[in-house]
């Protein structure tokens, strides 16, 4: 973990102003006799993006400020926000949030509460060598152009690529006296390529993203990255639909990481445990998978896309073992759910932005690696597939199912890869059966699998899903062959 | 007039928005209510046939000047666009009447709370559990000004509810996901809808595993419409034409789908999410007939993509509120569909269900299609196997294929239609107004 803990410096006028306002607004809330708890989150965000396709070059830049206020009163939460840095208006927003909370409390059956914690005064800024916002657009333009040059192929009909850079500074203060400043710098590069031959179209894409400076892209082998994408886009033109059914599957780290996130991770978010949505309710210290299955969530991983260090409730996130050798050991908590279940806070209370709600969320959730070579995993399959990349996925914590869409891979017959496949949809009636059917994990794992995770219908946060290759017996597979 | 100075200074366009949101989060209990408000603006400049875009939520004079300078600087790295491109210069130049201060956030909060109360009450009355629910009442006010003298404004009210619910039992079941979208704050309309959805929820207890095989399918609008929006809505866009990836390229006046299929991009459709008198460049909106009786008719355009083909813009400049509608101003302008309205059929859904033997799909996992290829695949989560006049709940089956194929295999559409917002966001976002669709002889890979 790259950490820089010190007294909070006031580096710029705007930073100093927000720092001051956040602190004073929380202090004002301390004087409200009806307020059980209040926290104030100030954000300054800045980002820029250069995106290019064969037909278009687009440049975007955005910056914004905002302060979100959350009040707990009589067991209910009220949220308000403002983009105006005005102390009097922010006090008014505290009063408004209190009014909302009290207005809701009459309808609230199960009163929310949080455990009182000692104040935390900390600062954490992710380290970087090159500020990606300050890198000349010309340099970024050259990188994208070089990627396009690498993709030149008669069967590639369209390319789209982008480089995005962002920096978010956050200030957190609460009525317990905590004051935390964090800053995260992000760098993203992506490329998609569309291929076409004889009336058949296919595509491939990849995204690399990290909590890192521009050195993240400088250290990337751009040519290898681009060629890997377009070569597969062309290869997918040879892919054929295949007859589906129940079969054995080897999941790449991209698909495997997403499976763990969707199938297990959401069900282990404690708000869905406490409200009875999750099938993991009442399963602590019981087996939920094969002994190979050990799953952790770690928001402190260096440079990883889902790293947060401190959550949006001011709790430090650390590596947490959720499943150990197949036994469920814990859930991911916000302050409210930790208090409700009588367990320590885990630092998983996250919000999309200053004006969004704080709820239990994953950070970097991963299945620990095993000791198999990928070839050995394939050799152990008589009739099945290996899938390459996830495109999207959906959880089903109440029903125990899941849905995973993948792109690329091969049919496996008698331990050998055969025909290439394109789009595949995977599912299973029971995720506990799925975890029990894991019988091989690869020696190597990849940290590259990242995404934006929505919960329910909104609340998008960045997450990382590092994973080894995973072999699972007996999944439902549809390969599009009718 | 805070943007007057920069509008005079060069060839540029300013889009500004104010979004107020009241958002109630529920499960079996009311968890929280958010009341938020964000204003912001984006500045798009055209310099040397290149476009740059920058946005901010800081309305200070200095910030506006800085944002303009950033947009100008960035424009140097854009690609050269056609010489005949210009910002919107059509229709009445100005109809902007007021600034963003006349919206009633207390009304939004009150309405949102009321809808939350109705939801909890109905769940209790009907013995249904809500596992996740967000109810939003939203007001959006946006304004487009440009150096050519355009100054136009549009406002909208939106109600969106997304509910996951399940029967109140410990038996194995499937949750039902439901989305309500309206432009009117009408509690009675909402109450009727939520009551119907909760009744439906109770059907999906102890679902049987679907057996692999061929089935006729009757697909509800919320499941069918994303397949249309992801493909037809993409292929009909002028951008897909320029990118050379449109399935419709070179197919004007050709039969591409079943004769039963007609689709119009209609920004004037009553009470739909994307309904607006102007688009986000200030162009007047209209109806564009994309498919008529299976024959491809026309593409739709914003100013940029119209300029590639010497066409007129069709009012399809969009901004995507995407991950939180409050920041709609920060989205760059793109060419997208408004409300894709699929022509209704001649039979009611009750008539279609009457002698139907097959799977009625009331809910699915992720009914999405790949825009480039048309391929799709999703899990049937809320299926009802209709056989010998009996309905059995079924799930654990995957329906996969290609939208190009299934749009040629439609055997019937229902008279009734639902409005389905794109990605469950509503604020002037794309939507699809879609009937139930009947397909024959489709392969399902099941869990049995």
Of A237, A264, A284, which residue is a domain's last?
A237
Instruction: Answer yes or no: do A107 and B120 touch at CB < 8 A.
Output: yes
Q: Do residues A112 and A139 both lie within one domain?
A: yes
Instruction: Answer yes or no: do A64 and B58 touch at CB < 8 A.
Output: yes
Q: What is the CATH number of the domain that holds B88?
A: 3.30.2290.10
Of B155, B182, B201, which residue is a domain's last?
B201
Q: What is the pLDDT of residues A228-283, one digit of tens each?
A: 999 999 999 999 889 889 999 999 999 999 999 988 999 999 999 999 999 999 99
Q: Do residues A381 and A266 both lie within one domain?
A: yes
Residues of A in Cβ contact (< 8 Å) with B370 = 203, 391, 423
Q: Do residues B350 and B396 both lie within one domain?
A: yes
Q: Inform me whether the C-beta atom of residue A100 falls under 8 Å from chain B C-beta atoms.
A: yes
Compute the nearest-CA separation of A136 from chain B (Å).
10
Residues of A in Cβ contact (< 8 Å) with B116 = 107
Q: What is the pLDDT of residues B17-60, one digit of tens each?
A: 999 999 999 998 999 999 999 999 999 999 999 999 999 999 99
Per the structure, the complete domain to which residue B411 belongs is given by: 208-446
Of A237, A268, A300, which residue is a domain's last?
A237
Q: Which of residues 337-376 of A touch B (CB under 8 A)?
A: 352-353, 355-357
Task: Confirm if B33 and B109 have CB atoms less than 8 A apart.
Answer: yes
Q: Do residues A112 and A147 both lie within one domain?
A: yes
pLDDT at position B321 is: 67
Of A237, A257, A288, which residue is a domain's last?
A237
pLDDT at position B2 is: 80
pLDDT at position B100 is: 47
Q: Inform me whether the C-beta atom of residue A85 falls under 8 Å from chain B C-beta atoms.
A: no
Q: Give A122's pLDDT tier (boundaries 50, 70, 90).
A: very high
ipTM: 0.91
Closest CA to A63 of B72, B5, B46, B63: B63
- Compute the mean pLDDT over every residue in chain B, rounded to the nearest whole number: 92
Q: In this predicted model, which residue has the larger pLDDT, B202 or B76?
A: B202
Query: Looking at residues B315-333, what average pLDDT do you find?
Result: 83
Residues of A in Cβ contact (< 8 Å) with B37 = 81-82
Other residues' Cβ atoms within 10 Å of the Cβ of residue B346: 10
Closest CA to A270 of A346, A363, A352: A346
What's the rounded Cα separation, in Å, for the pair A101 and B121?
19
Per the structure, the complete domain to which residue A211 belongs is given by: 13-237
Residues of B in Cβ contact (< 8 Å) with A396 = 175, 365, 381
Q: What is the CATH number of the domain that holds A82?
A: 3.30.2290.10
Q: Do residues B181 and B258 both lie within one domain?
A: no
Q: What is the pLDDT of residues B60-100, one digit of tens each?
A: 999 999 999 999 988 888 888 999 999 999 866 777 655 54
Give the DSSP H/E element, type plus range, for residue B415. Answer: strand B410-421
The total of structural domains in chain B comes to 2
Q: Inform me whether the C-beta atom of residue A281 falls under 8 Å from chain B C-beta atoms.
A: no
Q: Inform me whether the C-beta atom of residue A82 falls under 8 Å from chain B C-beta atoms.
A: yes
Q: Do residues B370 and B299 both lie within one domain?
A: yes
Q: What is the pLDDT of residues B143-157, one digit of tens each?
A: 999 999 999 999 999
Residue A304 lies in a domain: yes
What's the rounded Cα separation, in Å, for the pair B210 and B221?
21
Q: Inform me whether the C-beta atom of residue A458 falls under 8 Å from chain B C-beta atoms.
A: yes
Write the residue in A57, A63, A398 that is nearest to B79 by C-beta.
A57
Q: List the single residue in A with minimal CA-CA distance to B322.
A: A458
Query: Looking at residues A388-414, what average pLDDT do you find?
Result: 89
Instruction: Answer yes or no: do A276 and B131 touch at CB < 8 A.
Output: yes
Q: Do residues A224 and A265 both lie within one domain?
A: no
Q: Which two tokens stand for residue B435?
A: 């009937």
Q: Which two tokens stand for residue A273?
A: 């445990």
Does A480 score more than 90 pLDDT?
A: no
Q: Which two tokens stand for residue B153?
A: 């404004």
Q: Inform me whether the C-beta atom of residue B78 falls under 8 Å from chain A C-beta atoms.
A: yes
Instruction: Answer yes or no: do B243 and A158 touch at CB < 8 A.
Output: yes
Closest CA to A39 of A65, A19, A69, A18: A69
Asked which of A6-15, A337-346, B162-171 is least confident by mean pLDDT, the reply is: A6-15
With pLDDT > 90 as the criterion, what percentage of chain A qualifies? 81
User: Which pairing describes strands B287-292 and B263-266: parallel, antiparallel, or unpaired?
Assistant: antiparallel
* Residue A439 CA to its chain's centroid (Å): 26
pLDDT at position A392 is: 86
pLDDT at position B107 is: 82
Instruction: Answer yes or no: do B446 and A401 touch at CB < 8 A.
Output: no
Which 8-state DSSP code applies to residue B173?
Answer: B
Q: Do residues A352 and A206 both lie within one domain?
A: no
Q: Is A463 left (phi over 0), alpha (psi -120 to 50) or beta?
A: beta
What's the rounded Cα separation, in Å, for the pair A464 and A209?
10
Q: Do residues A288 and A410 both lie within one domain?
A: yes
User: Which pairing describes strands B50-56 and A121-125: parallel, antiparallel, or unpaired?
Assistant: unpaired
pLDDT at position B184 is: 86
Q: What is the pLDDT of residues A6-55, one digit of tens each?
A: 333 344 688 999 999 999 999 999 999 999 999 999 999 999 999 988 77
Q: Do residues A219 and A257 both lie within one domain?
A: no
Q: Inform me whether the C-beta atom of residue A452 falls under 8 Å from chain B C-beta atoms.
A: yes
Q: Helix A137-150 and helix A222-235: axis angle, to 10°?
A: 40
Q: List the single residue in B with minimal CA-CA distance to A70.
A: B34
Write the residue in A353, A429, A458 that is nearest to B134 by C-beta.
A458
Q: Which of A59, A73, A205, A269 best probes binding to B when mutated, by most B CB atoms within 10 angstroms?
A: A59
Residue A144 lies in a domain: yes
Q: What is the pTM of this model?
A: 0.93
Q: Inform me whether the C-beta atom of residue A194 falls under 8 Å from chain B C-beta atoms.
A: yes
Residues of A in Cβ contact (< 8 Å) with B447 = 246, 427-429, 476
Q: Which of B21, B22, B28, B35 best probes binding to A when mutated, by most A CB atoms within 10 angstroms?
A: B35
What's the rounded Cα separation, in Å, for the pair A447 and A467?
7
SS3 B327: helix
- Compute the mean pLDDT over every residue in chain A, rounded to the nearest whole number: 92
Instruction: Answer yes or no: do A57 and B50 touch at CB < 8 A.
Output: yes
Residues 6+ positions from B355 with CB-CB distance below 8 Å: none
Q: List the single residue in A with minimal CA-CA distance to B55.
A: A62
Q: Do residues B150 and B86 both lie within one domain?
A: yes
Closest CA to B25 of A346, A112, A341, A278: A112
Residues in a beta bridge with B244: none
Q: Do residues A369 and A270 both lie within one domain?
A: yes
Closest CA to A450 of A466, A434, A433, A427: A466
Of B137, B171, B201, which residue is a domain's last?
B201
With pLDDT > 70 as the criterion, what percentage of chain A qualifies? 97
C-alpha triplet B308, B232, B183: angle, nearest 5°: 100
Does B308 score more than 70 pLDDT?
A: yes
Query: Looking at residues A132-140, what average pLDDT do you find?
Result: 94
Write the residue in A61, A399, A427 that is nearest to B54 by C-beta.
A61
Q: Do residues A216 and A249 both lie within one domain?
A: no
Q: Do residues A197 and A310 both lie within one domain?
A: no
φ/ψ of B4, rounded to 5, equals -55, -45
Residue A4 lies in a domain: no
Query: Looking at residues B273-289, what average pLDDT do you find?
Result: 96
Q: Do residues B158 and B244 both lie within one domain?
A: no
Residues of A in Cβ contact (< 8 Å) with B176 = none
Give the DSSP H/E element, type plus range, for residue B223. Answer: helix B221-235
Instruction: Answer yes or no: do A61 and B396 touch at CB < 8 A.
Output: no
Q: Do residues A204 and A264 both lie within one domain?
A: no
3-state secondary structure chain A: CCCCCCCCCCCCHHHHHHHHHHHHHHHHHHCCCCCCEEEEEEEEEEEEEEEEECCCEEEEEEEEEEEEEEEEECCEEEEEEECCCCHHHHHHHHHHHHHHHHHHHCCCCCCCCCCCCCCCEEEEECCCCCCCCCCCHHHHHHHHHHHHHHCCCCCEEEEEEEEEEEEEEEEEEECCCCEEEEEEEEEEEEEEEEEEECCEEEEEEEEEEECCCCHHHHCCCHHHHHHHHHHHHHHHHHCCCEEEEEEEEEECHHHHHHHHHHHHHHHHEHHHHHCCCCCCCCCCCCECCCCCCCEEECCCCCCCCCCCCECCCCCECCCEEEEECCEECCCECCHHHHHHHCCCCCCCEECCCCCCCCEECCCEEEECCCCECHHHHHHCCCEEEEEEEEEEEEECCCCCCEEEEEEEEEEEECCEEEEECCEEEEECCCHHHHHHCEEEEEEEEECCCEEEEEECCEEEEEEECCEEEEEEEEEEEEEECC
Does B373 score more than 50 pLDDT?
A: yes
Does B101 score more than 60 pLDDT?
A: no
Does A95 score more than 60 pLDDT?
A: yes
Residue A5 lies in a domain: no
pLDDT at position B437 is: 98
Q: Do residues B215 and B166 both lie within one domain?
A: no
**Placement of tokens 């938020």 in the chain:** B36
Q: List the single residue in B with minimal CA-CA distance to A356.
A: B34
Q: Inform me whether the C-beta atom of residue B203 falls under 8 Å from chain A C-beta atoms.
A: no
Q: Do residues A138 and A256 both lie within one domain?
A: no
The total of structural domains in chain A comes to 2
Write the residue in B35, B79, B175 that is nearest to A96 by C-beta.
B35
User: Which pairing describes strands B128-146 and B12-26: parallel, antiparallel, or unpaired?
Assistant: antiparallel
């Amino acid at each position: 973990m790259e950490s820089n803990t010190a007294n909070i410096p006031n580096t710029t006028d705007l930073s100093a102003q927000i720092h001051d306002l956040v602190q004073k607004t929380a202090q004002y809330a301390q004087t409200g006799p009806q307020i059980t708890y209040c926290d104030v989150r100030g954000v300054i965000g800045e980002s820029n993006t250069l995106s290019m396709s064969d037909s278009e070059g687009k440049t975007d830049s955005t910056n914004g400020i905002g302060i979100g206020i959350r009040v707990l009163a009589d067991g209910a939460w009220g949220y308000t926000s403002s983009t105006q840095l005005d102390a009097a208006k922010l006090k008014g927003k505290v009063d408004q949030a209190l009014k909302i909370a009290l207005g809701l409390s009459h309808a609230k059956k199960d009163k929310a509460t949080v455990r009182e914690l000692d104040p935390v005064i900390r600062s954490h800024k992710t380290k970087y060598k090159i500020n990606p916002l300050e890198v000349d657009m010309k340099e970024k333009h050259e990188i994208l152009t070089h990627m396009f040059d690498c993709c030149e192929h008669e069967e590639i009909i369209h390319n789209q690529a982008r480089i995005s850079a962002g920096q978010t500074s956050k200030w957190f203060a609460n009525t317990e006296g905590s004051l935390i400043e964090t800053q995260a710098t992000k760098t993203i590069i992506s490329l998609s390529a569309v291929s076409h031959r004889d009336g058949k179209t296919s595509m491939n894409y990849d995204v690399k993203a990290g909590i890192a400076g521009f050195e993240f892209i400088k250290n990337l082998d751009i040519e290898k990255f681009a060629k890997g994408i377009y070569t597969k886009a062309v290869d997918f033109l040879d892919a054929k639909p295949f007859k589906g059914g129940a079969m054995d599957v080897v999941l790449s780290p991209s698909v495997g990481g997403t499976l763990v996130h969707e199938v297990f991770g959401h069900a282990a978010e404690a708000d869905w445990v406490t409200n009875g949505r999750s099938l993991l309710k009442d399963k602590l210290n019981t087996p939920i998978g094969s002994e190979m299955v050990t799953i952790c969530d770690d928001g402190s991983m260096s440079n990883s896309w889902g790293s947060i260090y401190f959550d949006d409730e001011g709790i430090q996130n650390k590596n947490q073992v959720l499943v150990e050798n197949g036994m469920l050991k814990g859930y991911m908590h916000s302050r409210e759910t930790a208090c409700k279940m009588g367990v320590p806070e885990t630092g998983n209370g996250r919000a999309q932005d200053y004006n969004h709600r704080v709820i239990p969320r994953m950070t970097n959730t991963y299945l620990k690696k095993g000791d198999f070579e990928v070839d050995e995993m394939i050799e152990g399959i008589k009739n099945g597939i290996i899938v390459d990349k996830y495109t999207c996925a959906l959880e089903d914590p109440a029903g125990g199912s899941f849905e995973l869409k993948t792109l690329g891979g091969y049919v496996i017959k008698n331990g050998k890869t055969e025909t290439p496949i394109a789009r595949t949809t995977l599912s299973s009636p029971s995720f506990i059966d799925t975890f029990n059917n894991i019988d091989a994990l690869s020696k190597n794992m990849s940290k590259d699998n990242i995404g934006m995770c929505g919960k329910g219908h909104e609340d998008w946060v960045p997450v990382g899903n590092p994973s080894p290759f995973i072999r699972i017996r007996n999944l439902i597979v549809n390969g599009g062959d009718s | 007039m805070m943007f007057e100075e920069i509008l005079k200074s060069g060839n540029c366009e300013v889009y500004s928005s104010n979004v107020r949101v009241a958002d109630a989060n529920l499960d079996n209990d009311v968890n929280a209510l958010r009341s938020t408000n964000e204003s912001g603006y984006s500045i798009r400049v055209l310099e040397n046939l290149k476009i740059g875009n920058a946005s901010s939520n800081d309305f200070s004079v200095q910030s506006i000047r800085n944002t303009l300078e950033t947009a100008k600087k960035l424009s140097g790295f854009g690609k050269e666009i056609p010489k005949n491109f210009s910002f919107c210069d059509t229709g009445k130049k100005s109809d902007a009447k007021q600034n963003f201060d006349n919206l009633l956030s207390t009304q939004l909060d009150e309405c949102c709370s009321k809808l939350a109360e109705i939801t909890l009450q109905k769940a209790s009355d009907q013995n249904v559990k809500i596992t996740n629910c967000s109810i939003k009442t939203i007001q959006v006010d946006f304004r487009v000004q440009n150096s050519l003298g355009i100054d136009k404004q549009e406002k909208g009210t939106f109600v969106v509810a997304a509910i996951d619910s399940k029967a109140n039992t410990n038996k194995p079941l499937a949750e039902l996901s439901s989305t309500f979208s309206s432009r009117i704050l009408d509690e009675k309309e909402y109450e009727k809808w939520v009551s119907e959805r909760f009744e439906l929820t109770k059907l999906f207890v102890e679902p049987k595993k679907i057996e692999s095989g061929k089935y006729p399918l009757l697909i509800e609008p919320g499941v069918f419409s994303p397949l249309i929006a992801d493909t037809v809505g993409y292929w009909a866009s002028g951008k897909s034409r320029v990118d050379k990836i449109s399935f419709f390229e070179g197919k004007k006046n050709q039969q591409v789908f079943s004769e039963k299929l007609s689709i119009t991009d209609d920004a004037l459709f009553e009470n739909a999410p994307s309904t607006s008198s102007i688009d986000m460049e200030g162009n007047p909106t209209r109806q564009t007939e994309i498919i008529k009786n299976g024959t491809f008719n026309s593409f739709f355009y914003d100013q940029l993509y119209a300029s590639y083909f010497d066409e007129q813009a069709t009012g399809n400049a969009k901004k995507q509120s995407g991950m939180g509608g409050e920041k709609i101003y920060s989205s760059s302008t793109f060419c997208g569909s408004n409300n894709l309205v699929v022509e209704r059929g001649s039979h009611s859904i009750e008539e279609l269900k009457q002698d139907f033997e097959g799977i009625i799909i009331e809910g699915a996992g992720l009914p999405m299609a790949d825009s480039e290829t048309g391929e799709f695949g999703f899990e049937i989560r809320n299926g009802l196997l209709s056989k010998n006049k009996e309905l059995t709940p079924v799930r654990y089956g995957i329906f996969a294929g290609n939208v190009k194929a299934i749009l040629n295999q439609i055997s019937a559409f229902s008279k009734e239609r639902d409005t389905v917002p794109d990605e469950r966001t509503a604020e002037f976002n794309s939507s699809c107004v879609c009937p139930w669709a009947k397909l024959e002889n489709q392969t399902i890979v099941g869990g049995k």
